Amino acid sequence: MAASPEVVLVRHGETEWSKTGQHTSRTDLPLTTTGEHQARQLGNLLAGRPFAPVLTSPLRRAWQTAELAGFGVAERVDDLRELDYGDYEGRTTAEIRQDVPGWTVWSGVLPGGETLADAAARADRVIERLRASQGPALVFGHGHMLRILAARWCGLPPEAGAQFALDPASISVLGYERTTPVIRSWNNALDLLAGQR
């Protein structure tokens, strides 16, 4: 099988809950004013590059980032929605640990939510599509789901996403070294990228 071109991952810009560290899956928050500014800056960095396909989570913070970045044509793909945190929606890790000491998304249970295996299955479906694409792909999504997608791209279990910190309004690139799936760059923060232009 021939290696497909690179995949550029973009985590959405700032929301009120990303600012405070609250777990956000189903709650369909808009970007903050700062998040809107970040999305436009991302657009400046991505401008002029041909992407096919351009995909986004159907949640507002992701598709709004895509639109403000100049990719309003992005296809909304349900498999890219954020990991479902269930009963922990809107709570911070510190708050959850008051009830469940040592809890993490990666090693704990999400009561009423989704398992990492279920999220990995969604990621695998997206990856299958990305690997079949003919050009470089662009994906707008969420912190935990993009980390799971990167882990699965490299053939790792979804729990390996724990090692891939991902900030809002960051750009990462998946690709190949010869035929081996690799992470070409990761969590390039917007301020650092802007300084490289």
One of 6, 14, 23, 82 is an active-site residue; which one?
A: 82
Domains and their CATH numbers in the chain: 7-196 (3.40.50.1240)
> Is 159 designated active site?
no
Annotation marks residue 36 as catalytic = no
pLDDT at 56 over 60: yes
Q: Give the whole-angstrom CA distance, residue 148 versus residue 126.
A: 11
Read off the pLDDT of each residue in 66-83 and give the average, rounded to a whole number: 97
Residue 7 has pLDDT above 80, yes or no: yes
The model's pTM:
0.94
What percent of the chain lies above the pLDDT cut of 90? Answer: 91
- For 13, 34, 179, the CA distances from 30, given in Å and listed in that order, are 9, 11, 39
- Express each pLDDT in 28-44 by its tens digit: 999 999 999 999 999 99
Give the model's pLDDT for residue 191.
57
Q: How many residues are recorded in the chain?
A: 197
Q: How does the average pLDDT of the chain come out, rounded?
A: 94
Both tokens of residue 65? 């980032």
Four-residue CA torsion sign, 43, 50, 77, 8 = negative
* Catalytic residue (one of 6, 12, 14, 142): 12
pLDDT higher than 70, residue 197: no
| Per-residue model confidence as pLDDT tens digits over 131-157 | 998 889 999 999 999 999 999 999 999
